[in-house]
Structure 1
Amino acid sequence: MTDTHVTDAGESLAEATSEASLRRSEERSAKIAEQIDKDPSEFRMLTGDRPTGHLHIGHYFGSLANRVRLQDAGVETFIVIADYQVIADRDVAGPLRERVYSLLTDYLAIGIDPARTTIFTHSAIPALNQLMLPFLALVTDSELYRNPTVKAEHEATSGRPMSGLLLTYPVHQAADILFCKANLVPVGKDQLPHLEQTRVIARRFDERYGRARSDQPVFPQAEALLSQGGSLILGMDGTKMSKSKGNTIELRMSADETAKLIKRAVTDSERFITYDPETRPEVANLLRLTALCTDRTPTDVAEEIGNGGGGTLKKLLTEALNEKLAPVRARRAELERDPGYLRDLLAEGNERANAVADATLTDVRTAMGMIYT
């Protein structure tokens, strides 16, 4: 990979979200997008989800559709179903098996191709998780406590004691990224501190332990490809979209279920429809969703509706979203009828990921002088 951007060694993880740093990340992300168009073979991408619930339209427009686009462009892709990370901030994992297969089914239904993308479960890759040991020696507890995402996740637990897994969550994510030597990670702006921690670990490993081969570090400097769409989409109640709030439209829902949720969506008392995200966020949200489904701008959709009111807007969104998701739902229903295929596919993905992880762990042990036989 050429033209690698490296954050200054003196920049703290907290500073990774400063305004100036965000601008640099946005500029670098734009250059990466141009590089992908020219030569996607330069990149290996790692992305994934925690199976804490079912995927919804926020995931679809925010990241899933982009994963398919990057895969189809020729970027080598790894998708982790991060099942171990489910227990970072909760006592029980919940109906984990159901949720893992729900994620897998959604991935395939939206167009993820298992022949080109390696889909695997976190817990099935021992060598990936073994990387946590040397990585933990490369970070300090103060760095982890300062990580903005760790602090935010802990605040969301209503003051319960922080688990060791939650505190080391950024290190676990670093292992996810570096086990396959990914150099591209699609993230939102709020996830930049995690990625910076990964970059710090990769640099420190090279500085402290050296290299398995003299020509290059064991680990690359992973780059951020910033995503925008998901953060712009609100739930049907006008607040942040969240599985726990029940304000999402899940990809697995039927057309009728979708229609009922949209019918209850929050708007406002003004009949004339305008796109005004500042003063009419709920209406703007529905317009934005309609625009995403129809490849138009929210303003164009608003101008079409005009004095038609919230009812017309909801009707238009219902038709557009159900039409957009119809092929996804049809493919999903087909996949659900063949659980054996899903099991075999996941086993194949885990096997491929294990081969990659074993090779990386060998490089790590070689660099650390831990090959004894």
Structure 2
Amino acid sequence: MSTVTTQPEQRTAELETRIRQAPERFRVMTGDRPTGALHLGHYFGTLHNRVRLQELGVDVFVIIADYQVLTDRDVAERLTEITEGLLLDYLAIGIDPARSTIFNHSAVPALNQLMLPFLSLVSVAELNRNPTVKDEIAHSRQSAVSGLMFTYPVHQAADILFCKGNLVPVGQDQLPHLEVTRSVARRFNERYGVVFPEPDALLSAAPLLLGTDGTKMSKSRGNSIALGATADETARLIRGAKTDAERHITYEPETRPGVSSLVLLAALCTDRDPHAVAEEIGGGGAAALKRTVTEAVNSRMAPIRARRAEYAQDMGYVRSVLRAGNERANAVADATLAEVRAAMGGVL
């Protein structure tokens, strides 16, 4: 295994120990773009980890990155509807607004103002080299690459540093983005005086769940199972999931990705080992596999769906959660911007 891979993993192990010892020393910054409904891939990939960190006592900031919808789209469609869906999902899975801060990108002007001085600290060549930006551009839904897409890592740096976030849960593919944030913090501190922490990556060990068509589960591909889906909708989607012609069920992600992803989903929902789940199904074939997965998903999601439906009956409260989060985020951002102005000699 390469050093590039092992160093972040070793650092994550150290951070997990430190979090358990002194959670109050950490502030996590994470969030989602409101481009569609959150799904099971999000739940097992990131959402449950946010709740875990919150329960440990870490200060968690969750951004609904509405401005960043426009990085790869010409317009932001159904923004209010999707944002309220995200709020319902956050509350349903256990994000507690008394202990975590949920806020809108566009509601915090001081955060977005930080992007201007931050852009002066990053070269065009560095942005050109960013592999995550290259991948996003390759899959962009815009007719041409926008300036917002190109400067996305710097905008993300503002998202993280406005609240002086020092811990960012990411996957391996997002490490280049976080390195831009670390560079921005370091260069600002060297040029103007120490204001920002250099945030650490908390690597996610989240397994990859494929969509029902056998490709990456995605909000935009119509191949996901939304957290807000009903039991019947979930059953229908799983029945249509791609498998293969071999009847005996095994867990072999490399050679049987579709089958193995379903096995893994059942295992995650029941807190079991995927090999044990596959062995139990054995020669039952795809039909038995899909029945097992459907039962497991619906059982795991039942309390979350119940809480979601309960919150949906009081959208006034749900909207008040966002208003309160926006107020706290604005207070934090204003204080940070004041520090930046002072450090820069009142340039801003």
What is the TM-score with the length of structure 1 in the denominator?
Answer: 0.91
Q: Please tell me whether residue 220 in structure 1 is matched to residue 197 in structure 2.
A: yes
Q: How far apart, CA to CA, are the structure 2 residues paired with 1:138 and 1:275?
A: 47
**1:351 and 2:297 aligned:** no
Alignment of 1:52-63 (within 5 A): 52-63=35-46
Query: Using the alignment, how far apart are the partners of 2:2 and 2:318 within structure 1?
Result: 44
Please identify, of 29-38 and 51-60, the stretch whose mean Cα deviation from structure 2 is larger: 29-38
Matched, 1:327 2:303: yes
The separation in 1 between residues aligned to 2:72 and 2:283, in whole angstroms, is 47
Match of 1:132 in 2: 115
The residue number in structure 2 matching 1:28 is: 11
Tell me what 2:275 maps to: 299
Match of 1:101 among 78, 84, 94: 84
| 2:29 corresponding residue in structure 1 | 46
Note the aligned Cα RMSD (angstroms).
Answer: 1.4
Quick check: 1:288 aligned with 2:256? no
For residue 86 of structure 2, give the secondary structure of its aligned residue in structure 1.
helix
Matches of 1:19 and 1:186, distance apart in 2: 21
Letter in 1 for 2:181: T
Does 2:321 correspond to 1:338? no
Q: 1 CA distance for matches of 2:157 and 2:132?
A: 14
The equivalent of 1:209 in structure 2 is 192
Looking at structure 2, the residues matched to 273 and 151 of structure 1 have their Cα atoms a distance apart, in angstroms, of 38
CA contact (8 A) 2:74 2:142 kept: no
The residue type paired with residue 294 of structure 2 is T
In the alignment, the residues of structure 2 paired with residue 253 and residue 182 of structure 1 have an alpha-carbon distance, to the nearest angstrom, of 33
Show CA shifts across 1:174-196 (max 9, x none). 00000000000000111001100
1:246-265 → structure 2 map (5 Å cutoff): 246-265=222-241
Amino acid at match of 1:364: V
Structure 2 residue 335 is the aligned partner of structure 1 residue 370 = no
1:112 maps to 2:95:
yes
Give the TM-score of the pair, scaled to structure 2. 0.98
Query: 2:336 corresponds to which residue?
Result: 360
Q: Is the 8 A contact 2:73 2:142 kept in 1?
A: no
Amino acid aligned to 1:330: A
Question: What is the identity percentage for the equivalent residue pairs of Structure 1 and Structure 2?
Answer: 64
The counterpart of 1:153, out of the listed 118, 122, 136, is 136
Aligned to 1:84: 67
Match for 1:169: what amino acid? Y
Alignment of 1:192-203 (within 5 A): 192-203=175-186
Matched, 1:172 2:149: no
**Cα offsets for 1:63-112 (capped at 9, x unmatched):** 00011011001111100000000011111100000011111110000000
Q: Aligned partners of 1:234 and 1:345: how far apart in 2?
A: 32
Q: Is the 8 A contact 2:234 2:294 kept in 1?
A: yes
The alignment of Structure 1 onto Structure 2 pairs a total of residues equal to: 348
Query: Which amino acid in 1 is paired with 2:202?
Result: L
Once the two structures are TM-superposed, the CA of residue 19 in structure 1 deviates from its matched residue by 4.2
